Structure formats: structure tokens, C-alpha cells
Chain A
Amino acid sequence: MAANNYFGFTHGGTQYGAAAAAAAGAAAYQATPAAGYAAVGHTPAAAATYAAQRATTAYEAAAAYQPAAATSYAATASSAPTYDYSYTRAQTYDNAAKTAAFYPQPTSTSFSAAADPAFQAKSSTTYTAGYQNAAARPAGQASKTYNYPAAGAAQSYTYPNQAAAAATANKNYSGYDAALYNAATLYVQQQAHTAPKGAGTWKASRPGVGATIGQKPKLKQPPKPQQLHYCDVCKISCAGPQTYREHLEGQKHKKKESAQKQTAGTTPNAPRGGNSLRCELCDVTCTGSDAYAAHIRGAKHQKVVKLHTKLGKPIPSTEPVVVPGKSTTTTAKTGAATTTAVTKTTEVTKVVATPKINFVGGTKLTTTTPTATAAAAGTAVKEEPKEAAAAAAPAAAAAAAPAVARDDTVAVAAAALGEKEVEPVGQEYIEEIKNEEGKVVSFNCKLCECRFNDPNAKEMHMKGRRHRLQYKKKVNPELIVEVKPSLRQRKLQEEKLRRQQMREEMWRRREESAMDDEERIYWEERRRYEEEMEYFEWCRRGAGRGMPPFGPMGPMGPRFGPIPPMLRRPDSADDRHVMAKHSEIYPKDEELNAIQKIVSNSEKALKMVSDDIAEADAPKKDDGTASESKDEDGKELPRTLKGVMRVGVLAKGLLLQGDADVQLVVLCAEKPTRTLLERVANLMPKHLATVTPDEKYALKLSVEQASLIITNQTEPQINVTVTLTSPLMRDGAADEPTASKDPPDVLDKQKCLEALAALRHAKWFQARASGVQSCVIVIRIMRELCQRVPTWTPLNTWALELLVERVVASAGFPLAPGDALRRVLEAIASGLLLPGTPGLIDPCEKEPVDTLSGLTAQEREDITASAQHALRLMAFRQVHKILGMDALPPPKFNRGKFNRKRRRDNSCSGENGDSEGGDGKKDKKEDESEAAKADAK
């Protein structure tokens, strides 16, 4: 891998050229290294611990180093090729990381610093060899030759390793350093403990390059603090060899070691998604800038810094290393950009300096760049921001001022991540919790339901993602919180995508197959059509006459299936109750038969009476009017008794159980007289006897009722009232003068008129009411109600019929029995009977007559009140209370269609309960199992 990178270098040359052009050449070079070194000032302590021969302060040292680098870069013509080379190389690193506008001056400087001696001493080939060598070496070996003075260069090396080779940075670059400079550190010694072989390697490599550097004495100097036992993997020091060994054998260490080895092949500690910031020093990956800042501030980090300072190990700057996410291109860019920057990068957009190397132990620097003055360095540092400004970046500025750097860490880190600096939100939702003395001891975030004690934590919390999400969720949905899909979400997303693809695929296939079908149908049709056409053609030719051409009736022709059966509205509870009540009040068969029998017998008898009277009248002419008896033909004669008709409940089919009174009306040609009535009464018994010899009927004459009452002797006692009337009675009422001609014994006019009205009502009923769905049922129910409830009794049958018919018919559509009953109650409840309403016009009268006029105001009021209560009872599922019955149990639901039909058939006379007896057992089982199924659903 290293070889690859290396190769890349030469390629990178061109790129560099471009970049250089943009960046104003050497000036920029100078500027950037300055920035890079400025960071050294950060850790003066570290520098101080180091060799005294270096500049008094690390800063100075850095400064001194810088100019050296700068001069060697820009000024020395002799080293120019070398320089170029190294520079290119740095460039290539960038290249490998796919950074576009990376400006790795720091890298190059450090390189030049590092490489200069190398070049001077040897040739580039040597260098290459060493490099390759180091890279090829196993990590353990490489790390033996750890060289901190070369940290700058090392760092620059690190970059490719991290980004491209992705090996553990420290070891590799240290290996590289070792190869280049052969600098020895305490680390070497430590390594020697564990792997003595490595020491040899180091030595072997040392003469290669290191000799030329001539820094051996300095290398020897550091071993003083070698007494310290430092574990590089865990970044800790141990008090003594014993503890150190124990540590090395410890679980924690091994775990870390193996983890490190595992990650060696991949990006170190690559976060699951998005970017994260890495503290090189502690090898800690932080998920966000805030977390990173917290880490930098944290005790652990400080401890490590201290330790490293003490050990004189290179301390990477606090600026974070961005660990790019796995996939995103943007992260790759920024990430790469930042990582490559060894000391300081000036990116066009937001680039940051990342691993600035603090040349803590830069012993060789002093030797290599003795010419440099601190002042020059100082100016260089000062100038840096301005010059870098060509490439801009406030982040760079922040990095340039190391004093501020700490505070700016967040900003820098944020910039490194490409994060926007967020405004803290939702301050008002953070409560301060005070102790007794009123001192703020902790904070409570109401949005996130969390507590913290530290004001810093509060600040961070308000900027934090979780808090922002909560704020977005709970307060301001428009707050922008960057999306960070979790692993699960991403998986879901992928899954969704995959499914969508599959679905599309499926549709496509289906479409294709549908196309196939269509094709097939089309061709089928076509074939038929052609066949038919051929046939017609043939017919036409054969028969010589054209058949009417008609279009091809393909198999797709419209087909009229059986019209789907009208969807029956399922029975409501009201319907069931009404129907149950109805079947209860409906007369039994024997009653009906009895009535039927007596009525038909009466009718037959009356017919015979009529015949008798007609016969008697025709020859004798003693009874009829002269004009009428003139006719010869007895059949043609207008009979005195013109006909008998059923009226009232009988005609309307409104008979209820227990109804024993039925009415017949005999229409007479003239105004009926008492004489006529008596005559009929006299003739009836004889004829009744002839009609039914075995039945005994009692006959009662009621002159005041203008009627004849026939009563049977058997059990369901039935009275048939036969009323005599004549249309003339009504006409007579119309023109008074003729009334005087009335026979003296004419029957009661009012009764006769009533009989006539009854006749009209019967006709009206048959014409109108019987055609309205549910109307007859409701009238029966209401009749029963009127009979049962005294309040309703004043409402006479005719008014009731009329009312119900009007109300039900006015609904405009067929009503179920329950609904029809409710509507009637609604109508009365809405005050139809009350004063001030239009009333109920009688359709069977010439004059507008209010059918309801017979009701007194109090009766109307009472009926209305009763209906109002009944209506509410009905609305609240207590219809049985109105009907005077027990509530029905609910029907067994889930009956199969057929099951239900069968039941309906055999229970037409009474669908409640009883009829279920026979097949109950089996049904119950079925119902139960079905119910269970339904429940399971």
C-alpha cells in the first residue's frame, strides 16, 4: 500500500502545479508552515521538557524551524528538486485522499525538513527504499523505531496511512520515521522489551538514512525518561516494569490491542454514519464537535497530554482529525482535506488544519535550521492569516492563534465536520433547580427530561442534537436538525428501496403478461371476426342478399348477468321488535278462517236475499219505484240491493287478533228504509241456512244502526255488521229539496253516510295505503296501541290510517317497519296534531275536512306528549316498552345466508324464539363455532 502511495507521488506532481498556481506559490508555503508551527506554542511545556539546545520556547523552536523550511523551499535553488519531490509527494497524499483543493504546505515543509537531510545525505531512491521498507514491515516492528523528532514528517506520513492505507497511524508513521531518520526514543527501548528483534531492524535501517542526518547525539539524549513505562496502545504510563507487564497482560490492554489490529485494515474507528472527530492523541473518536471539545477539556485527555509531554512524545494538536463516514462523498472530501494537513491547511472553503505536530522534541530542527530567527518566525506567524486568507477560512485563523485555539476547538472541530455552528435553542425550557440557599445546583430540561449540574453541560445540551430534536418535535417543527440516520433507519431505507424495486419489477412483469393477454384476446377476436366475415361473405354470395352486417361479438361482449339481488337492509332492533309485535297481534289462522267463513256465508246469503228481493219486486212492483220495475229482463233490472261490500278493517286487512267485529255494506238502489232492512232481516235466516246448513247464526236487527248483525255460535265469536246504505243518501244531502221525498221510514242518515264513507275509505286504502311499504304493518301496530293505551284511544281508525299513510308515504322512499313506526312517532312528536298545524285533510270528502277535528285540544296534547316520549324510548332502544312487549333477545349473529333463509321460511308466523326449537341444537353449535371464528378475527 505504501508503495502505491508512493507511486502516487510522482503522479501528483501535476496536480500540485495547479494548486500552486492558485495559491500564489512560495508565499503561501511560508505562510502555512508558520501556522502549523504556531500550534507548537500550544504546548510549550512539552517543548520545555525537551532538549535545551532547541529554542527556549517551543514557539521559537517552531519559528526557527519554519523559516528554515521556508527558505529551503523557496530560496535554495540547489535543494529545489528535492523540495519539489517532497512536495509532490505531499500532494499525492492529498490525491490519495481525493482532496481537491488541499494545500499541504505544512506537509511539505515537514517533509522538506525531514527529507532534506535525507536527500542531502542520500538520494531519493534511498529514501524510497527506506520508506517502502518501513511500510512493509509489520506494525510491531515499525513501531520499535519510533522517532519523535520526526513527528512532523511522521504526521504527514500518517495521512496516507489513515485515509488510504488505513493502518494504525502511529505505528506506521513511526516506522517511516524510523526508516528515514533512525531516531531512537524511549519507545524503542520499550519495544525492545517486547520484541527485541525489532531493535535490530531499527539499527539496520538506521545507517541507511539516519547517519546522514547526524543527529545521533541528540537521539541519545532522550533515553533519560525511558524509565517510564509507557503503553502506546493504551496511552498510559505505568509506575514500574512490574505494573507495566501486568498491564500488558491485562485484559484491557489485550482488548485494545486486538481492537487496534482489527481496525488496522479499515478506517480507524469509523463511525456508523456521518463524520466523527478523532483525537489523535488519545485515539478517541467523538461524535460531534461538542463532544470533542468536551474531550479536549476533559481530565483524561489532559492526563494523556501531560504524559506525552513528559515522555517527550509528539503531541498532535487539539485540532481534530475528521474520520470520514463510510459512504458520503462530502465527508470524504473534508475528511481527507483535514487529515492530510499535517500542520496547517488553508482550504478554499472550510478546511482546517488538522494534526498539527508539535515539535516537542524536534532536536534535529535546531541543527538543520540554525539560520532562522525567531523574529522572522514571528512575522511569519503574524502574516499567516492574511496570506492564508487568499484561501480564506476563519477556521484557519482560529487555528493560527493557538491561545484561542482551545476555546475555538469546538468551532474548528465543527468546521472540520462541516457542521454549522448552532444556536442554542429552548433556553426557556431549562429549569434551574436551586438548593435551599437559592444557589443553582442543577438544571432540568423539560423537553428532554434530563438533568445536569454543569452550566457547560447546559450550554452543550442546548446545542445538542437530542435537545434540538426534542425542540423540533415539541416546540418548533421548523427547526432544522441535521438528519443522522441511524443504522436501523438506513437498513429500513435500503429495505424500502429494495422492495420498491421489486414491486416495480413485478408491475413490469404483470404489465407484460397483461399485454400478452390482451394480445391473445385481440388475436382471438380478430380470428373470429375474420371467420364470421368469411361466413357472411359466403352467405351473401350464396344467398345473393346481404345480411345486415353487424359488428363482431367477441367474447368480451357485454353480458347481462342476473341482476344482483337487491341488497336487503338488515333488520334493526326496531324492525325486529315491530315485526315480532306484528306477528303477535296478527290474527291466528283459525280466527281468520272463522271470519272468512262467516263473512263469505253472509255475503252469499245476502246475494240470495238480493236475488229474492229482485225476483219479488220485479213481478209485483209493490216495492220498487215504478220507473225501475219497467224493465222486462229480471237480470237487467236494477236491483234494490245492488251489492255487498266489505269495509273497515276487513276490507283493509287490518284485522287484529281478537277483532270480532267486521263490517259489510250493502248498497241499495234507493235510500234504505226500515222496511227494507226488516225485509232483508227476514229473508236472511233462510238463505243462511241454505248456504251453510250445519252452521247456526244468530241475527239481530239494529234499526238505529241501520244495520243487521250476524253472529256465529261457534267459539271465535264474530259479529258481522251489515249496514244498508245508498249513494243517494250523500247526494240527497247535497240537494235538500229532494230530501223531502224521502220515504218516511228512511234509516238514520248519519249511519248511512258513515257506511258510505267507510266504503270510500276502503277504496282509498286499497288504492293508496296498501301500496306503501310498511304502512299496513304500522297501522296495525298503531291500532293495537290505540286499543291498549287509553291516551291514544281518541284517535280513530280512519284518522290513524290517514295519518300513518301520509307520514310514511311522505318519506319519499320505502321504509323498514321500525323506521316507519319511528317516523309516525316523530311526526306526532313534532306537533302534527297540535293546534296551529295544517291538520289532516280527508281525501275522501269533497270539502276540506280535518280528519283530526274530533280530537279535543287536551287529547291532542296528551297524544303528542305520549308520542314524544315514545319517540325517545325508541331512539334509546326501548321500543319494546312502546309496544308493550318484552325486549327480544338479539338474533344470533353470523348466521349463514342459507341458514337464515330457512329459518325465515319456517318461522313466518312468529320469528321469535319458538321456531328455533327443532334445529336449535345443531344451530347452536354452528353459531358457536362461527362466533369463535369471528372472535378470533
Chain B
Amino acid sequence: MMRGGVRGRGGPRMGRGGYKMKTFVPRLPFDIYLCEPAFQRAKPAPDETPLQQALLKRNTDLSPSPTEQTAVLNLVTKIATVLDTLIVTPGSFDACQIEEHRQVGSYKKGTMRTNHNVADVVVILKTLPTREAVEALGNQVTEELRQQEPADVLVMAMLPNDRGFEISNSEATVRVLVTTVHQNLRKLDPELHLDQKILQSHLAAIRHSRWFEENAHHSSIKVLIRLLRDLKNRFEGFEPLSPWMLDLLAHYAVMNNPSRQAMSVHQAYRRCLQLLAAGLFLPGSAGIADPCEGGNIRVHTAMTLEQQDQVCLTAQTLLRALSHGGYKQVIGLEGNASIATDMTVWEGIVVSPLEKAYEKPPERKEGEPGDELADDDDMDMADN
């Protein structure tokens, strides 16, 4: 139902329904690290060294090897050189004009994982990004790369959804994501150009990497991001979390405490799960405001309600497993992803998976005709 979908985007309206003239005050969920004084330790802190070491080991496993890094670096440098040349001397190439190009994503942030040698480069076009232009650019870049080093086996492929193209050699891949300058975004024609949403996301990627450079350079954060990405890859329930959400979550977990000192990785790791379990990314929560967008956009509203439920549910189950000693399975040193979906026993304690709480609106309509009415009103408000 369309209505439900729309409301899903508008997250804040959810869960707070009711009066028409309401003001939604998002609230951060309970976070024990922010109210530590209220919870003095009644018992000694448990020994967390095993967890810590397990995490560090996992991080080492996940980090790319120097050869991998070199391979990616080489390819990125070559492509950057070609793009620079195109900017300075376009020559006969007139399919598009390049404003600038920037490295973004995990390569730029230093959060790459092994066996995933993909670096992202965003190319900002001065001209409007037509599919033809993107393809021409891809061909041009590949052509010039081939001229430079004929020995290299290069493959150019267009990315799905017209995001751009990717150039890969035997060891590494560089994804060139195409976007255009801001003032062009208004002029886009969906028939002719790349999707505006995608273009905007590429622009956002640049802001993200810039923000990251300035704010999240602490290595704890980078390690945590790598671990969280791994977590996301292993557990299906975390699939909806975008890299940017993970970045922000890691930064939040490491840095957002009263002392403003970076927390250790194992604390932050547990805290991430705690925050998610406490509903940081649920409707009605203040979540994490996107630092790269105006207007206090909460990052988690990019997920649908169902996805939010799913993420929260998975985190809750994993948190319990982690608390009962299942850290190896959670971190990924042992076992598999079934711990999030199947009943497990840890030291005699039965940890059972949770059910979804989110119900699709049509079903709810039967149960709560009244609520639906209120929603309609809300929607009218939103539409007007």
C-alpha cells in the first residue's frame, strides 16, 4: 500500500500518531553509556579480554593485505591520472566535461575489507549525465588506460542502475560513480539522464568521505566499521544498514560518551548492538542525525519500517547471544549466521530468536480502523 510506504519514509510520524497538530520530539533511546552515573556498578565488571582479543583477531583477518592495497592504489592512481588529463585537456573528447573527481567510500576511508578490492571514485560532470556520456567516458578512460599499459587486462563494465561504470583488472576494481554539479540536478530528465536519487547519493558520498576525514579518523572507529561491515555481511537481518549508517553508528558508539574520549573497540562493539537493540534505528527514535544533510535528517529513515524492525530484531538477538558468551559466533570466528534466527543455548541459557513486530498496514487496518483514520489525516497533512 502506497500510503504505508510513504509513512515509512516519514518515520517520525510513526508510533506517535494521534493528534493532528502534534509536534514530534524525537528522543534518543536509553543508552547506558550516556547515563552511567545513574547506574553505578553493583558488581565487578566482567573480564572482557577474550572479547577484545577476538575482535582484534577478526579485524586482522578482515583487513586487506598490503598487496591488495597496492593493487587498488595503483589502479586508482592510474584512473585518477586519466581523469585529471581529461579535465585539463579534454581534447577531442566532448561527450561530457568533468568538473572534478574524488575518491570516496571504504578505500578513501581506510575501512576496506580483504577480498573486496573495490575503490570508489566519484566523477562530477559539468555537463548533464546522460547514459551516452557516461558510457563514452568509460570507454575513453579505458582506452587511455590501455594506451598507457597495453599489457594490462582491463574490463570496463557499466554498473547496474546507471550509477557509472567500473574498471577492473586482475587484482582490483575501481568503480567510477558519476554525478553532476548541484545546479544541474534540477534539470534532469528521468528519460534521458541518470536517476537523480543516485546522483544525489554520489554527491552525498563525497560529503561523507569529507566528514569522515574530519571526524572519524580515530582508528577505533575504522576497526569498528570494518567489524560492523563484516557483521552486516554475515547476518541477513543487517542487510538494510547502509555503509553510511554503519559509519555513523561506529562513530557514535566510539565517540559519543560523556568524556568524549574514544572508547575501546570491544566496548563500542557491544554498544553498537545495545544501541540497535534499544531501538536507535526504530521509528520514534532520534536516531543519528545525518551530519552531511541539512534539516536534521535521521539516517535510519532511509530504511523501510520493516527493515528497521528487522535490524532491531537481529541486533536484539545477537546482543543476548553476545551477553551469554556467544561472542565468537557473533564476531564470526565460529559458527554461522543461524544464531540470529534459530534458538541457541549458551551455558545452559536458552536464547530464542524474536518475532517481527512490524505489521503491514493493510492487516492493521482491520484491527485498527480508527488508527487508519488518524493516519489518513496525517497523510493529508503531509500532502498539503
Q: Which residues of B contact A (CB under 8 A)?
A: 14-23, 25, 27, 29-32, 35, 37-43, 45-46, 48, 95-97, 126-128, 130, 132-133, 136, 183-184, 187, 189, 192-193, 274-275, 277-279, 282-285, 305, 308-309, 312-313, 316, 319-320, 323-324, 347-352, 354-359, 364, 367-368, 370-371, 373-374, 377, 380, 384
Known contacts A823-B30, A835-B323, A874-B15; A809/B38 CB under 8 A: yes
Q: Taking A571-B19, A850-B43, A876-B15 as contacts, is the C-beta distance between A477 and B305 under 8 angstroms?
A: no
- Interface stretch of the complex, out of A538-546, A689-697, A826-834: A826-834
Q: A428-B132, A835-B324, A857-B349 are in contact. Are A570 and B21 (CB under 8 A)?
A: yes
Residues of A within 8 A of B18 (CB): 570-573, 576, 890-891
* Whole-angstrom CA separation of A512 from B370 in the bound complex: 56
Partner of B370, one of A823, A849, A890: A890
Q: How far is the CA of A830 from the CA of B31 in the complex (A)?
A: 8
Q: CA separation between A876 and B15, bound complex, in Å? A: 6
Report the minimum CB–CB distance from B253 to chain A (whole Å). 12
**At the interface, yes or no: A408 with Cβ under 8 Å from chain B?**
no
Q: Among A428, A573, A826, A890, which residue has its beta carbon within 8 angstroms of that of B278?
A: A826
Tell me if A838 and B41 are in contact (CB < 8 A): yes
Chain A residue numbers with a CB within 8 Å of B319 are 830-831, 834
- The count of A-to-B residue pairs whose CB atoms sit within 8 angstroms is 240
Whether A904 is near chain B, meaning CB under 8 Å from some CB there, is: no
B32 and A830 contacting across the interface, CB-CB below 8 Å: yes
* B187 A474 Cβ-Cβ under 8 A: yes
Is there an interface contact between A893 and B30, defined as CB atoms closer than 8 Å? no
* Cβ contacts under 8 Å, A888 to chain B: 370
Contact (Cβ within 8 A) B32 A832: yes
Q: Which of A416-451 contact B (CB under 8 A)?
A: 428-429, 446-447
B23 close to A869 (CB less than 8 A) = no
Q: What would be 14 A-B contacts, judged by CB atoms less than 8 Å apart?
A: A473-B187, A475-B96, A477-B187, A810-B37, A811-B35, A812-B35, A815-B27, A836-B323, A839-B41, A871-B278, A872-B356, A875-B285, A891-B19, A937-B384
Cβ-neighbour of B39 out of A447, A811, A840, A872 (below 8 A): A840
Q: In the complex, given contacts A571-B18, A830-B31, what are 10 additional A-B residue pairs having Cβ atoms less than 8 angstroms apart?
A: A429-B130, A475-B96, A830-B30, A864-B320, A865-B316, A868-B316, A871-B278, A871-B282, A872-B313, A875-B308
List the B side residues contacting A576 at CB < 8 Å.
Answer: 18
The distance in angstroms between the C-alpha atoms of A935 and B351, with both chains bound, is: 50
Across the interface, do B17 and A872 meet the contact criterion of CB distance under 8 Å?
no
The answer to whether A934 has its CB under 8 Å from any CB of chain B is yes
| Interface pair B16/A476, CB less than 8 Å apart | no
Per-residue interface assignment for chain A, residues 806 to 847, with 1 indicating a CB less than 8 Å from any chain B CB and 0 otherwise: 110111100100010011101101111011111111100000
Interface centre among B38, B128, B133, B312 (most CB of A within 10 A): B38
| Chain B residues with CB below 8 A from A428, complex form | 95, 132, 136
A175 to chain B, nearest CB (A): 55
User: Do B27 and A819 touch across chains, with their CB atoms under 8 A apart?
Assistant: yes
Q: Within the assembled complex, what's the spacing in Å between the Cα atoms of A832 and B320?
A: 11
Q: Is A878 a contact partner of B357 (Cβ separation < 8 A)?
A: yes
> For B37, what are the chain A residues with a Cβ–Cβ distance below 8 Å?
810
Q: Are A830 and B359 in contact (CB under 8 A)?
A: no
Asked if residues A478 and B126 are in contact (CB atoms below 8 Å), the reply is yes
- CB-nearest residue of chain B relative to A479? B127
Known contacts A474-B130, A857-B349: A876-B46 contact under CB 8 Å: no
Interface pair A865/B352, CB less than 8 Å apart:
yes
From the candidates A573, A809, A831, A894, name the one contacting B15 in the complex (CB within 8 A): A573
* Interface check A569, CB cutoff 8 A: yes
Contact with B along A875-894 (1 / 0, CB 8 A): 11110000000011111011
Which B residues are in CB contact (< 8 Å) with A826? Answer: 29-30, 278-279
- A868 contacts which of B35, B127, B277 (Cβ < 8 Å)? B277
CB-defined contacts of B355 to chain A, threshold 8 Å: 869
Please name the residue on chain B nearest to A871 by beta carbon: B279
Whether A887 lies near B284 (C-beta < 8 A) is no
On whether A831 and B359 interact (CB within 8 A), knowing A875-B284, A891-B18, the answer reads no
State the Cβ distance, A478 to closest chain B Cβ, in Å: 7
Cβ–Cβ < 8 Å partners of B136 in chain A: 428
Q: Is A551 an interface residue (CB 8 A)?
A: no
Q: Which residues of B contact A827 (CB under 8 A)?
A: 30, 32, 278
CB closest chain-A residue, reference B51:
A836
Is A298 an interface position by the 8 A CB rule?
no
- A557 CB within 8 Å of chain B: no
Are B192 and A446 in touch, CB under 8 angstroms? yes
Verify B305–A876 contact, CB threshold 8 A.
yes
8 Å CB contact of B133 from A475, A865, A893: A475
Please indicate the chain A residues that have their CB under 8 angstroms from the CB of B312 in the complex: 868, 871-872, 875
Asked if A893 and B377 make an inter-chain contact with CB atoms under 8 angstroms apart, the answer reads yes
Which listed residue (B21, B130, B279, B371) contacts A475, Cβ 8 A?
Answer: B130
CA distance A829 to B21 in the complex (A): 31
Does A740 count as interface, using CB distance less than 8 angstroms?
no
Contact with B along A902-937 (1 / 0, CB 8 A): 000000000000000000000000000000001101
Q: Which of A478, A570, A822 contacts B19 (CB 8 A)?
A: A570
* Distance from A540 Cβ to chain B, minimum over Cβ atoms (Å): 56
A125 within 8 A of B: no
Set of chain B residues within 8 Å of A429, measured between Cβ atoms: 130, 132
The one of A476, A830, A878 that contacts B29, using a Cβ cutoff of 8 Å: A830
A861 close to B (CB within 8 Å)? yes
The residues in A between 91 and 133 inclusive whose CB is less than 8 angstroms from any CB of B are: none
Q: Is the CB of A877 within 8 A of B316?
A: no
Find out whether the CB atom of B19 lies under 8 angstroms from the CB atom of A841: no
For B282, the chain A residues whose CB sits under 8 A away are 871-872, 875
Q: Does A574 contact B (CB under 8 A)?
A: yes
B308: chain A residues within 8 A (beta carbon)? 875
A570 touching B22, Cβ below 8 Å: yes
Q: Which 7 A-B pairs have CB atoms at the shortest separation, nearest pair first? A: A839-B42, A889-B370, A872-B357, A810-B35, A890-B374, A830-B278, A850-B42
Evaluate contact between A829 and B316: CB separation under 8 angstroms.
yes
Chain A nearest CB from B308 CB (Å) reads 8
| Pairwise interchain contact A893-B283, C-beta atoms closer than 8 A | no
Q: Which residues of A contact B305 (CB under 8 A)?
A: 876
The distance from the CB of A690 to the nearest CB of chain B, in whole angstroms, is 48
Within 8 Å CB of B27, what residues of A?
A: 811, 815, 819, 823
Cβ of B371 and Cβ of A887 under 8 Å apart? yes
A698 part of interface (Cβ distance < 8 Å): no
Residue in A closest to B352 when the chains form the complex, CB atoms: A865
Q: Mark A444-482, 1 if CB is under 8 A from B, else 0.
A: 001100000000000000000000000001111110000
A858 proximal to B (CB < 8 A)? yes
Contact partners of A809 in chain B: CB under 8 A:
38
- Give CA–CA (A730, B121) in the complex, Å: 72
* Given A830-B278, A876-B305: A476 and B40 interface contact (C-beta under 8 Å): no
Which residues of A lie under 8 Å from residue B356 when comparing CB positions?
872
Instruction: Provide the residues of chain A in CB contact with B370, threshold 8 Å.
Output: 887-890
B371–A573 touching, CB < 8 Å? yes
Residue A848 lies at the interface, judged by CB distance under 8 Å to chain B = yes
Alpha-carbon separation in the docked complex, A572 to B178 (Å): 44
Q: Which of B41, B48, B130, B320 contacts A861 (CB 8 A)?
A: B320
Of listed A576, A810, A887, A891, residue having the most chain B CB within 10 A = A810
Query: Bound state CA distance, A918 and B351, in angstroms?
Result: 52
| Closest-CB distance, A800 to chain B (whole angstroms) | 15
Is the CB–CB distance between A876 and B19 below 8 Å? no
* B96 CB contacts on chain A under 8 angstroms: 475
Q: Write the chain B residue with the least CB distance to A848.
A: B42
Residue with the greatest number of chain B CB neighbours at <10 A, chosen from A570, A838, A848, A872: A872
A894 to B380, CA, bound (A): 14
Please state if B357 and A873 are interface contacts (CB–CB under 8 Å).
yes
A893 touches B19 (CB 8 A): yes
**Residue pair B127, A476 in contact (C-beta under 8 Å):** yes
Interface residues of A in 562-585 (CB under 8 A from B): 569-574, 576
Q: How far is the CA of A75 from the CA of B43 in the complex (A)?
A: 123
Q: Which residue of B lies closest to A815 (CB)?
A: B27
Tell me, rounded to whole Å, the shortest Cβ–Cβ distance linking A833 to chain B. Answer: 9
CB neighbours (8 Å) of B348 from chain A are: 857-858
